[in-house]
Amino acid sequence: MIIREKPKLRVGLVGSGFMGKCHANAFRSVSGLFDLPLEPITDMLADISDEVARKNAVALGFRRSTSDWKALCTDPDIDVVAVTTPNALHEPIVMAALAEGKPVYCEKPLSNTLESALRMTEAAEMSGIVTMVGFNFLRNPMIRLARKIIESGEIGEVVSFRGRHAESYMSDPNVAHSFRTDPDGGGALADIGSHIISMGRYLLGPITHVLGQSQTIHKTRPIKLGKTERSPVLVDDATHALVTFENGVLGTIEANWAAVGRTMDLSWEITGTCGAIAFSQERMNELLFCKGTTGRATSGFTRIESGPTHPPYGSFCPAPGHHLGFNDLKVIEVAELVHAISGSANTGPDFREAYEVQKVVTRIAESCKEQIKKKV
Amino acid sequence: MIIREKPKLRVGLVGSGFMGKCHANAFRSVSGLFDLPLEPITDMLADISDEVARKNAVALGFRRSTSDWKALCTDPDIDVVAVTTPNALHEPIVMAALAEGKPVYCEKPLSNTLESALRMTEAAEMSGIVTMVGFNFLRNPMIRLARKIIESGEIGEVVSFRGRHAESYMSDPNVAHSFRTDPDGGGALADIGSHIISMGRYLLGPITHVLGQSQTIHKTRPIKLGKTERSPVLVDDATHALVTFENGVLGTIEANWAAVGRTMDLSWEITGTCGAIAFSQERMNELLFCKGTTGRATSGFTRIESGPTHPPYGSFCPAPGHHLGFNDLKVIEVAELVHAISGSANTGPDFREAYEVQKVVTRIAESCKEQIKKKV
Amino acid sequence: MIIREKPKLRVGLVGSGFMGKCHANAFRSVSGLFDLPLEPITDMLADISDEVARKNAVALGFRRSTSDWKALCTDPDIDVVAVTTPNALHEPIVMAALAEGKPVYCEKPLSNTLESALRMTEAAEMSGIVTMVGFNFLRNPMIRLARKIIESGEIGEVVSFRGRHAESYMSDPNVAHSFRTDPDGGGALADIGSHIISMGRYLLGPITHVLGQSQTIHKTRPIKLGKTERSPVLVDDATHALVTFENGVLGTIEANWAAVGRTMDLSWEITGTCGAIAFSQERMNELLFCKGTTGRATSGFTRIESGPTHPPYGSFCPAPGHHLGFNDLKVIEVAELVHAISGSANTGPDFREAYEVQKVVTRIAESCKEQIKKKV
Amino acid sequence: MIIREKPKLRVGLVGSGFMGKCHANAFRSVSGLFDLPLEPITDMLADISDEVARKNAVALGFRRSTSDWKALCTDPDIDVVAVTTPNALHEPIVMAALAEGKPVYCEKPLSNTLESALRMTEAAEMSGIVTMVGFNFLRNPMIRLARKIIESGEIGEVVSFRGRHAESYMSDPNVAHSFRTDPDGGGALADIGSHIISMGRYLLGPITHVLGQSQTIHKTRPIKLGKTERSPVLVDDATHALVTFENGVLGTIEANWAAVGRTMDLSWEITGTCGAIAFSQERMNELLFCKGTTGRATSGFTRIESGPTHPPYGSFCPAPGHHLGFNDLKVIEVAELVHAISGSANTGPDFREAYEVQKVVTRIAESCKEQIKKKV
């Protein structure tokens, strides 16, 4: 007996690198894990050449492939466009999809320049099209729990934020130049600082003031992979900033891609007047929670392990402590995208939110060049 | 352009509970993550009734459904049979699939009795059919790394093993009777002790001698979910055992499903003459590794985080520290299954290995009843 | 103005090695930290020769020295005798002190044989003299807190104990024979297993039944420090035991002095029907406490840090989190000793308790030789 | 036989609160733990009144007491003056002691104003008298090891510093005003920020530039202990700063005394071009050390536990992993003081170093008031 099928959501994906594969997997998995109104189908993949596109379409389970992203955007059988190309190429693809009235799911950062990001944001808002940007770390049930704890007032009024995203993938001076070190949109602050900024905003609201300092640790890098010739690096390897949130919370943010020993220290500690919570992506299935009352004999940080009491963990596993992984966060994001496309409220982050994150990045970068430190 | 597709592996799944959903997800995801010779298709789902089967087939992405597992086993379009029913129902399904010459992928434990497990094992071996049993925790790249470290001799000759699987899902005395507390094959030792035993065998080889003690913490439980009437519990809530491995390693094993505070403490410490390694599934993306030489100023346990240097992590993500989750382990297992069905060496655990694990479980359980402790 | 002084407690110490120095420091410090009825004075030190005794008396701050421990025991100006000699020499010294009616403070184990320990115990009890044995790890405020939590019923009825004392000081096969490997009272179980046994008894009460297995990892060692000639090792390097407490708690105990990577893993996890506590001496200023109720979104183990709410931490520091160290535990022990000598209730462990610990050690050792494991 | 005694160092202590008791204990213990050229004697204690002084002299083991600190400073039998009074009272006492040519051991901060600190520093330097200031956290063997690792070049060129001192003793808004909230020298930055600044300087050298932001979380506090009337708080509860070291290292520093959940998070992470080290006083017997080479399968942070390979740990205990505590750090400091008084090189921190720390504190505080953040 052939069973009844759900209505389909035909996905067109542009780009099939690191995040492209991650998108493809999420679209394939999501309907077996979540009860969604639409079933995503990995339909068409566009990439740099026919050959690459065809090869990766086979590998990632797409039915069709093309080297022409415009064709993908205008194809009448494509219902949603996902964009995972290098950042500088986002805008034309996104604009083409929006012009067709298609929902757009774009990897972060939305663009390499703030102006470009604003153009996309306004185009989407003008047409009322659903958009989403891939800040997948926000999708962690532990992060949702953190926000719930903050909103509940259990830690009192929040007063401090100490955030960081530190990895080490650029710590070797022989890692070559790439889009990451392109002065137009590259650097540690833009690449990973955006994650901790988006998380700070998700948990505590808008950031209104910043003061930054940045450093370029490795002054030159090989001009490209496999070459020995070197050229100057014009972006930051690490940036630290003092920040103020709209609600008065003060804190610091660090972005560092040369942090030897750190592979994924997207971490923060949030302190309230009568409690605190702390998190690191290094242990993404744990949240530390202290419910104040200093001086009691049994107070301290409680290590909460993820489980079915932390939605949507239960969509992946009915038993606690079994762990979600990085790719599962993308699946959750795609589930939210499908709900938004189906007419539910968009839980974001949409283009506007991505633009706001990028504005903070830009202001910190500007501040790094302007301010003068006090001499001791 | 419609792209060329790979040959398919049509999957028939019997059972769609906790592990059934996990199987379905793995079969759907695997070919987008691994480069496999066959592409699994979630074809037919069998469950207890037409209605349940149809509903879950839709939810889990199967093309067909049935309430007749025999029909599934004999269906000529089914290439492999996956079994995730309650343990006591494994044998007839497995035997029917083997009779058709079809590879069988069965959840652990292989059966509720040792005799039954042996019958299945011998039937499979007689016919030379590929079998695999779902001890998915073995699939963790950190566990592979552990075995590689042991085999490399970096920790010297292994001398001690301290293993445990502790969770708390039965810690509440009002959790009702179920197949888990069925005297025929139930209990903490059989349910989760089998995981630490299989892991001990994977890392250190056969266990030859045991001595156990067990306890039933909650003497009665509600006769079934939602009832207040209670009846006696005849299985163990916790079992501890002294064990000897064939290679002379001594150690202990604990199985405990009433370990309040523990959600997934499948953990061990393995000590060698000049090093040690330690692991807990609570932090499944980490391995602790100490390379001996006591007395040096900078020695100690190094916390290794999972990454692309630990195959097959890289099939999921090219960047280190991004974390695999529980469901990813099942995907790795299914990739191994597909390779074995395609003619590669079976990396196991096959039915024989599952039978050996079950034999250790059985001998410990027998020992718990026989031995007499020394009075202090 | 010369201030009024407290009555003195003149201490005679026999032995000035590792623990001798630790005793001396504790006696010197205690009265500045605790408000005691008597002020200990480090009066006389006895050691193996006049020269050694004199040298160490200067180093450790004693007023007098002697090579004749009998003279120390009978000296009318000595109020209490502390014994930190090798174990086999305890009995004559202790007996001499008891014969003089002097309180005795003896390092663990009380003796090298159970019979000898019993003789000392009975002699002390017959005369009603205050005795104390140096199980200093019990003095940790975190351990007192653990007992308080257990007694309060906050973790329900205790059901399991998983204890261990693992260090690595004998992990190198070239560590030579010494009193530690003397078949008469030596071995890992006697040397450090006694600590985890005493702690188990302190927290959960008497152990009534045991079943052990032991191993000698390094079969030979240099006959003495600096020699290359080797002779067989006749004691255990590691012992594991199944144990039953009088109150029905089941568990395991491990003693291991060849545990590479471990410097002080005197650790345990105690599980109750609705909570759990866990501790490791590796982080002696922390106690992990989980107050059950599985399934709540914010439950888990809370890391409690030591502070003034955990007596007698406040005697050392008025601020929490500042950490006690190993030597501070000895100071607490000495404070308890002074109170007992002054007529307060003896909080122990006294000779009787030390004898009971040694009996458990002995029974486990006997069991290791007797029992036959079940063949798998 | 009465043994030969060492030459004495007669100590006069002014102040007997928290740190006074800590000083007294250190002076009493040190000669039994370290082999020193002089033996400190706790001779005279000065405090606010005759009664308090006498009572505390008995409690802390001093031979004499006085309410007149001037008499103490000029007493010919006092060889060294230790000062643990409230900060604003340091200068006259210190100046009086220096005028007598006596070495001075003063608690941090050296004074409540930078000018006062400079006067004391210059007075001491003019006369060539030995001075020391109580930054006892620097005395931790793990901190010495950290400096040794940095100096060895094992982590390459240092590039980043992320430092913090967070506690929670002022997190309760009902903690009353005290010297800590005195606008003249009080506040979190001055009180505990000075510790992380001194540690940063100890490990990485001078700080040349700063930019700060500060916050007063609790705007009013009870005017004094036991009162309900409240008055405004004019000092910071938390301050964050961007800092530049002379050697080009960039980083951040946080001081926070309202950090709920933190009792002693004096912590830092130092990143070099090919390695990293990290530390928290919460686990003061551990140092985390990563020796770069990203991409190896077994790299990561190694948890080093303190032991005899980390001088002067061995003065306290010959076995590793047994833990030093807070008071032991003071003992080490006093040992260094005695060596300096005996003519060895002064390992500091002396008054000059304390002044430099205070200058950084002052410049950060000034910066907090001056700078203007960039609007997002």
Instruction: Provide the CA C169 distance to its chain's centre, in angstroms.
Output: 17
Is residue C344 in a domain?
Answer: no
pLDDT for the residue D301: 96
D131 and D147 together in one domain: no
| Residue A22, both tokens | 């991650």
**Domain boundary at C92, C117, C136, which?**
C136
Question: How many CB atoms are closer than 10 A to CB C247?
Answer: 12
| Residue A239, both tokens | 């940036």
d(CA B331, CA A25): 12
| Residue D128, both tokens | 């060539």
Is residue A359 in a domain?
Answer: no
- Which subunits sit against C, judged by 3+ Cβ pairs under 8 A? A, B, D
Is residue A374 in a domain?
Answer: no
Query: Over the stretch A70-97, which tens digit does the pLDDT of each residue have?
Result: 999 999 999 999 999 988 899 999 999 9
d(CA D226, CA B123): 82
Find where tokens 């693809």 sit.
A93
Q: ∠ CA(B342), CA(B41), CA(B19), 5° rounding?
A: 95
Best mutation target among A16, A27, A29 (most B Cβ atoms within 10 Å) is A29
Using 50, 70 and 90 to split pLDDT, how confident is the model at D4? low
A46 and A101 together in one domain: yes
Residue A118, Cβ density class (10 Å: 0-12 exposed, 13-18 middle, ≥19 buried): middle
Pick from A3, A62, A305: CB nearest B263: A305
A-chain residue closest to B263, CA distance: A321
Find where tokens 């003149």 sit.
C10
Here the CATH number for the domain that contains residue D258 is 3.30.360.10
Cβ distance of B307 and A263 shorter than 8 Å: yes
Using 50, 70 and 90 to split pLDDT, how confident is the model at A372? confident
D113 and D53 together in one domain: yes
Pick from B251, B260, B371: CB nearest C290: B260
A61 and A152 together in one domain: no
Among C118, C114, C107, C55, residue whose Cα is nearest residue C85: C107
Q: What total of structural domains would you count in chain C?
A: 2
Closest-CA distance, B298 to chain A, in angstroms, reads 16
Alpha helices in A255-346 (DSSP H): 326-341
Contact residues for C244 (Cβ-Cβ < 8 A; gap 6+): B213, B373, C207, C208, C209, C210, C250
Is residue A370 in a domain?
Answer: no
For A205, B259, C200, C267, C271, the CA distances from C161, given in Å and listed in that order, are 47, 11, 8, 10, 7
The answer to whether the beta carbons of residues A157 and A325 sit under 8 Å apart is no
d(CA A141, CA A313): 6
Residue C78, Cβ density class (10 Å: 0-12 exposed, 13-18 middle, ≥19 buried): buried
Is residue D1 in a domain?
Answer: no
Max CA distance (Å), chain A = 80
A154 and A302 together in one domain: yes
| Residue B234, both tokens | 């005849």
D35 and D91 together in one domain: yes
d(CA C260, CA B270): 10
**Domain boundary at B136, B167, B190, which?**
B136
pLDDT for the residue B372: 80
H or E element that contains D93? helix D90-99
| Residue A371, both tokens | 């301010």
Query: Over the stretch D145-200, which tens digit does the pLDDT of each residue have?
Result: 999 999 999 999 999 999 999 999 999 999 999 999 999 889 999 999 999 999 99
C105 and C160 together in one domain: no
D-chain residue closest to A167, CA distance: D294
In terms of DSSP bridges, do strands B39-46 and B64-66 run parallel, antiparallel, or are they unpaired?
parallel
B182 and B226 together in one domain: yes
Task: Tell me the residue type at C130.
Answer: V
Q: How many residues does chain D have?
A: 376
Which chain A residues touch C278 with a CB distance below 8 Å? none
Residue B216, Cβ density class (10 Å: 0-12 exposed, 13-18 middle, ≥19 buried): middle
Among C35, C38, C34, C14, residue whose Cα is nearest residue C24: C14
In terms of DSSP bridges, do strands C230-232 and C104-107 run parallel, antiparallel, or are they unpaired?
unpaired
Residue D370: is its pLDDT beyond 90? Answer: no
The answer to whether the beta carbons of residues B247 and B205 sit under 8 Å apart is yes
D28 and D150 together in one domain: no
The answer to whether the beta carbons of residues B267 and B252 sit under 8 Å apart is no
d(CA B117, CA C285): 49
D152 and D258 together in one domain: yes
Closest-CA distance, A295 to chain C, in angstroms, reads 7
Cβ distance of A321 and B263 shorter than 8 Å: yes
Which chain B residues touch A58 with a CB distance below 8 Å? 3-6
Q: In the predicted model, what is the mean pLDDT of residues C96-110? A: 97
For A59, B32, B335, C36, D37, the CA distances from B35, given in Å and listed in that order, are 7, 8, 9, 75, 73
pLDDT beneath 70: ranges in chain B: 1-4, 293-295
Using 50, 70 and 90 to split pLDDT, how confident is the model at C3? low
Here the CATH number for the domain that contains residue A99 is 3.40.50.720
pLDDT for the residue D185: 86
Q: By residue range, what is the domain housing residue D260?
A: 141-283+285-319
d(CA B228, CA B235): 20
B185 and B304 together in one domain: yes
Residue A63, Cβ density class (10 Å: 0-12 exposed, 13-18 middle, ≥19 buried): middle
pLDDT for the residue C295: 63
**Domain boundary at B78, B110, B136, which?**
B136
Among A144, A151, A368, A176, residue whose Cα is nearest residue A253: A368
What secondary structure letter does DSSP report for C177? Answer: P
Is residue C126 in a domain?
Answer: yes
Pick from C169, C215, C359: CB nearest B376: C359
Lowest mean per-residue pLDDT among A212-226, A288-302, B204-218, B349-363 = A288-302
Cβ distance of C159 and B238 shorter than 8 Å: yes
H or E element that contains D160? strand D158-166
Q: In the predicted model, what is the mean pLDDT of residues A108-133? A: 96
Query: Over the stretch A239-281, which tens digit does the pLDDT of each residue have?
Result: 999 999 999 999 999 999 999 999 999 999 999 999 999 999 9
Is residue D360 in a domain?
Answer: no
Cβ distance of B211 and C164 shorter than 8 Å: no
Question: How many CB atoms are closer than 10 A to CB A183?
Answer: 11
Pick from C1, C283, C317: CB nearest D327: C317
A170 and A127 together in one domain: no
Closest-CA distance, C202 to chain A, in angstroms, reads 20
Backbone angles phi, psi at C228, to 5 degrees: -100, -25
Cβ distance of A155 and D260 shorter than 8 Å: yes
pLDDT for the residue B74: 98
Among B162, D313, C280, B30, residue whose Cα is nearest residue A25: B30
d(CA B363, CA B357): 10
The answer to whether the beta carbons of residues C354 and C108 sit under 8 Å apart is yes
Best mutation target among D142, D143, D302 (most B Cβ atoms within 10 Å) is D302
Closest-CA distance, B373 to chain C, in angstroms, reads 5
Query: Which residue(s) pair with D8 in the sheet?
Result: D39
Find where tokens 């067709």 sit.
A100
Which chain B residues touch A328 with a CB distance below 8 Å? 325, 327
Which chain A residues touch D174 with a CB distance below 8 Å? none
Residue C52, Cβ density class (10 Å: 0-12 exposed, 13-18 middle, ≥19 buried): middle
pLDDT for the residue D296: 80
Contact residues for D343 (Cβ-Cβ < 8 A; gap 6+): none
d(CA A193, CA A195): 5
Closest-CA distance, D106 to chain C, in angstroms, reads 19
B-chain residue closest to A283, CA distance: B283
Q: D165: helix, coil or strand?
A: strand
B340-369: b (≥16 Cβ within 10 Å) or e: bbeeeebebbbbbbbbbbbbbbbbbbebbe
Rg (CA), chain D: 21
- Which subunits sit against B, judged by 3+ Cβ pairs under 8 A? A, C, D
Pick from C31, C167, C322: CB nearest D264: C322
Cβ distance of B160 and C363 shorter than 8 Å: no
Is residue D362 in a domain?
Answer: no
Find where tokens 């798998």 sit.
C376
Task: Tell me the residue type at B71.
Answer: A
Pick from D297, D299, D304: CB nearest B300: D304
Q: D105: helix, coil or strand?
A: strand
Residue A292: is its pLDDT beyond 90? Answer: no
